[in-house]
Amino acid sequence: MTATVDRDRLADLQAGEDELFARTHPRSRQLYEQAHVHMLDGVPMSWMTRWSSPFPVFVTAAEGARVTCVDGHEYIDFCLGDTGAMAGHSPAPAVAAIARQAAKGVTTMLPTEDSLWVASELARRFGLRYWQTALTATDANRFAVRLARHVTGRPKILVYNYCYHGSVDETIITINDGVPGPKPGNAGPPVDPTVTTKVIEWNDVAALAEALAPGDVACVLAEPAMTNIGIILPEEGYHAELRRLTCETGTLLIVDETHTICAGPGGCTRAWGLDPDMVTLGKPIGSGVPSAVYGFGRTIADRVRATWDYHATDECGVGGTLAGNALSLAAMRATLGEVLTEEAFAWTVPLAERWADGVQDVIDEYELPWVVKRLGCRAEYWPRPVPPRNGGEAAAAEDEQLDRYLHLFLLNRGILMTPFHNMALMSPQTTAADVDRHTEVLCEAVRGLKGVDGVPVSE
């Protein structure tokens, strides 16, 4: 499509969608204008400016797989808070547990019984014995990286080009024209990230071997499949090489399952039989109540215990006053125990297959040079003819103009997609009819772009 989209036509269609959105969202527009008085760019969090609409939709309620806005429109939500609401919005068992706990004390800096259940459930799911808590996946990653540096005594970490692990300073690095450096737009980096970090392309075993050979890397921090620059699956044998090379060089392997929990109850770690030293996970595990965890095995636990200065643990890089609070633990127990269960994945994964099949049908029917990729209950399409092998290839295929148009076309017809991706996530409350509605509306968007419904595309 990239090659065949008429850009003038796309600009005209975009103007029509912008106008339609503005006309049908007067209350959101009013709130957005008022919001500029005390919030930077009229939003409480900067990412909210990244939606495709001229101003954000202000929400009144979210329930299951539905969001309702102040203008009274209802949306089928495939964004699901960019995975934060993968359990569905306000699932009943979590709401009940959260309400119960909120009435009994939110935070005391003392453990509750729920913590035992959560840690043992995580051990069962991911095969790692010890678990600690944080409030965000960013923090879980920061703490895991700190522990890796602490126990190995090594200065560097290694990440993949166009990875995303939250706002962890060391990870905001890309390969720019062949040279590692700060990711474009990196705001106020404390040091040049090349001081702390090596960055290589995903699926490149030779680059990995070369980067680890000097023995100065404490850990590799990796999603088991990249998800933040589109879904990029590991090539056959890549994980085996990653594990072999990290073991041979004494480098710890941290697997960030925050998005890849979409692959199943134990993420890719369990689905693919991976054997990481540490696992990090956040976002959906508390049904939206800030909750995150990081886990590791006995060897790391012993190395931490042997070297940890317990008098300094409150101020020395790993912690957070509210981490491990009773509310997060109650939310995690209910979410893991009653919502993001085996049965839930047995429902959501086939829905994502259906979604991907529907998109593939549109691609085939209109001969679009696009690919659709899926991982568990997450699926996504890309405007390039073959799947990218790595982050650099994926980033080069980005088509912001086309993405913005497709997102807004869908939003104007009651479908929310994640702003940064053409990505859809299925929740336990998503239905086959929701999925088919997406296929239908996408088809309509493509017909418009192709000029099928009357006006021919000038090439």
Ligand X SMILES: Cc1ncc(COP(=O)(O)O)c(C=O)c1O
Render the burial of 299-337: b for 16+ CB within 10 Å, e for the rest: ebeebbeeeeeeeeeeeeebbbeebbbbbbbbbbbbbbb
Cβ distance to ligand X smaller for residue 204 or 257: 257
Q: Least CB distance from residue 114 to ligand X, whole Å?
A: 21
C-alpha 148/C-alpha 238 separation (Å) is 22
The verdict on 136 binding ligand X (CB under 6 A) reads yes
Q: What is the 3-state secondary structure (H, E, C) of 217-277?
A: EEEEEECCCECECECECCCCCHHHHHHHHHHHCCCEEEEECCCHHHHCCCHHHHHCCCCCC
Q: Are 155 and 173 in contact (CB under 8 A)?
A: no
Cβ distance to ligand X smaller for residue 261 or 406: 261
The verdict on 335 binding ligand X (CB under 6 A) reads no
Closest to 292 in 3D by CA, of 284, 281, 301: 281
The verdict on 223 binding ligand X (CB under 6 A) reads yes
Cβ distance to ligand X smaller for residue 163 or 371: 163
Closest to 448 in 3D by CA, of 382, 414, 402, 415: 402
Those residues with Cβ within 8 angstroms of residue 103's Cβ, 6 or more apart along the chain or in another chain: none
C-alpha 94/C-alpha 92 separation (Å) is 5
Q: Least CB distance from residue 381 to ligand X, whole Å?
A: 19
Q: Are 368 and 1 in contact (CB under 8 A)?
A: yes
Query: Which positions from 138 through 157 interact with ligand X, judged by CB under 6 A?
Result: 138, 141
Closest residue to ligand X, based on beta-carbon distance: 166
The verdict on 295 binding ligand X (CB under 6 A) reads no
Cβ distance to ligand X smaller for residue 287 or 412: 287
CA angle in degrees (0–180, nearest 5) for 117-119-123: 115
Among 88, 166, 266, 383, binds ligand X (CB under 6 A): 166
Q: Which stretch binds ligand X (CB under 6 A): 51-59, 130-138, 322-330, 340-348?
A: 130-138
Cβ distance to ligand X smaller for residue 105 or 317: 317
Decide: residue 44, CB within 10 A, 0-12 exposed, 13-18 middle, 19+ buried.
exposed
CA atoms lying within 13 Å on the CB side of residue 412? 25
Decide: residue 350, CB within 10 A, 0-12 exposed, 13-18 middle, 19+ buried.
middle
Number of residues that bind ligand X (CB under 6 A): 15
Decide: residue 457, CB within 10 A, 0-12 exposed, 13-18 middle, 19+ buried.
middle
C-alpha 276/C-alpha 240 separation (Å) is 11
208's tokens: 């990995």
The verdict on 283 binding ligand X (CB under 6 A) reads yes
Closest to 294 in 3D by CA, of 158, 157, 135, 177: 135
Cβ distance to ligand X smaller for residue 136 or 269: 136
Cβ distance to ligand X smaller for residue 395 or 452: 395
- Which amino acid, residue 451? G
C-alpha 400/C-alpha 416 separation (Å) is 17
Q: Least CB distance from residue 452 to ligand X, whole Å?
A: 36
The verdict on 137 binding ligand X (CB under 6 A) reads yes
The verdict on 276 binding ligand X (CB under 6 A) reads no
Query: Which positions from 365 through 394 interact with ligand X, judged by CB under 6 A?
Result: none
The verdict on 164 binding ligand X (CB under 6 A) reads yes
Cβ distance to ligand X smaller for residue 228 or 360: 228
Q: Which stretch binds ligand X (CB under 6 A): 133-141, 172-180, 267-275, 395-403?
A: 133-141
C-alpha 165/C-alpha 155 separation (Å) is 19
Cβ distance to ligand X smaller for residue 363 or 425: 425
The verdict on 429 binding ligand X (CB under 6 A) reads no
Cβ distance to ligand X smaller for residue 137 or 446: 137
Among 52, 112, 174, 228, binds ligand X (CB under 6 A): 228
Longest Cα–Cα distance in the chain: 73
Q: Least CB distance from residue 85 to ligand X, whole Å?
A: 12
Q: Which stretch binds ligand X (CB under 6 A): 45-53, 162-170, 197-205, 425-433?
A: 162-170
The verdict on 170 binding ligand X (CB under 6 A) reads no
Cβ distance to ligand X smaller for residue 260 or 360: 260
Q: Least CB distance from residue 171 to ligand X, whole Å?
A: 9
Query: Which positions from 231 through 270 interact with ligand X, judged by CB under 6 A?
Result: 256, 258-259
Contact residues: ligand X, CB under 6 A: 82, 136-138, 141, 164-166, 223, 228, 256, 258-259, 282-283
